[in-house]
Amino acid sequence: MIPNALSDQEFTQFQDFIYRIAGINLSFAKKPLVVGRLAKRVDHYRLSSFGDYFQLLKSGAHPDEVQMAVDLLTTNETYFFREHKHFDFLRDTILAQRSAVKPFRVWSAASSTGQEAYSVAMVLADKLGGQPWEVIASDISTRVLETARGGHYPLPQAEHIPQDYLSGYCLKGIGAQEGTFLVARTLRERVTFMQVNLNTQLPKLGDFDVVFLRNVMIYFDMEIKRQVVQRIAEKIRPGGYLLVGHSESLNGVTDAFRSVKPSVYRKL
């Protein structure tokens, strides 16, 4: 029987759990989300309560289940060319001013199911052509990364993709795949997906010209924001760009960047 009652004490346990691992603050308004996303896992183990499920996670006996819980509790909402002005800025300003010395590298640091990373890749393929470029895309959730690597999406998600990009870089499904589309292999091969927890020491990723860190800082408190941005700043080349969500800001977070325009920052 799937449970539907989550006490405040149990919710606080999951609050602490996801904050400790991912730095994410879950407000009490998220109680229904926690119930909806974890109830089936409680039922899967035939447990009687969410508290029992938390004890299972805490025991360390099921490390794969810890990752499953993290996957379920991290929010992953995205779509192709979301906040399109950032992609216009990438195309018309950043790439237009670029001097082709090193391979152009972009990091989609909270890539979710891959739409942001593939949107970036379409712009780079269009503007840089045969010049060397690379997109690294990461997320804390292994579940969404599996979807991202496949590059296979329901057709309605193509709504925001410019028509020339849609015809040039995507394949429309037919037969059993009707109603879906696939990002072309030539593009998928230029995007590397990997699991990265922004709340811990970052792996060796190299330096980047542009980092997209959008719509993730809203889940962090100020101290976690500072730590995450500091780690990311170290990965951005001097003069490189950090793009955050339109509702986000680096005010009071760091002095490593100057504001170019709302939600667009350049490293000093």
* pLDDT tens digits, 35-62: 999 999 999 999 999 999 999 999 988 8
- pLDDT for 60: 85
Residue 221 among the catalytic residues: no
Residues 3-29 have a mean pLDDT of 92
Domain ranges (residues) in the chain: 8-73, 84-267
Q: Looking at the domain covering 8-73, what would its CATH class be?
A: mainly alpha
Question: What pLDDT does residue 92 have?
Answer: 97
Give residue-wise pLDDT tens across range 139-170.
999 999 999 999 999 999 999 999 999 999 99
Give the mean pLDDT of 128-136. 93
* Tokens, residue 69: 């819980």
Work out the percent of the chain whose per-residue pLDDT is above 70. Answer: 99
Considering the entire predicted model, what is its pTM? 0.92
Q: What pLDDT, on a 0 to 100 scale, did the predictor assign at position 94?
A: 97
Interval 110-128: pLDDT, tens:
999 999 999 999 999 999 9
Catalytic residue among 41, 71, 105, 139: 139
Any alpha helices (H) in 129-243, and if so which ranges?
Answer: 142-150, 163-169, 185-188, 222-233
Q: What's the confidence (pLDDT) of residue 200?
A: 96
Pick from 186, 185, 119, 124: nearest CA to 150: 185
pLDDT of residue 1: 55
The SS3 of residue 148 is helix
pLDDT of res. 3: 61
- In the predicted model, what is the mean pLDDT of the chain? 95
pLDDT grade, residue 241 (50/70/90)? very high
Give me the sign of the Cα torsion angle 57, 61, 67, 69: negative
The answer to whether the beta carbons of residues 126 and 163 sit under 8 Å apart is: no
What is the Cα–Cα distance from 38 to 3, expressed in whole angstroms? 9
pLDDT of residue 262: 95
pLDDT tens digits along 101-112: 789 999 999 999
Tens of pLDDT, residues 172-188: 999 999 999 999 999 99
**Quick check: helix, strand or coil at residue 170?**
strand
Instruction: For 101-121, give the DSSP string.
Output: SS-EEEEETT-TTSHHHHHHH
In the β-sheet with 152-154, what is the strand arrangement from edge to edge? 152-154, 180-183, 170-172
- Residue 37 annotated to the active site: yes
**pLDDT value for 61:** 86
pLDDT at 4: 62
Q: How confident is the model at residue 100 (pLDDT cuts 50, 70, 90)?
A: confident
Strands 191-195 and 264-267, by their bridges, are: unpaired
- Does the pLDDT at position 2 exceed 70? no
Using DSSP's 3-state secondary structure scheme, residue 95 falls into coil
pLDDT tens track for 72-93: 998 777 999 999 999 999 999 9
pLDDT value, residue 257: 98
Query: What is the CATH architecture of 84-267?
Result: 3-Layer(aba) Sandwich (3.40)
Size (the chain), residues: 268
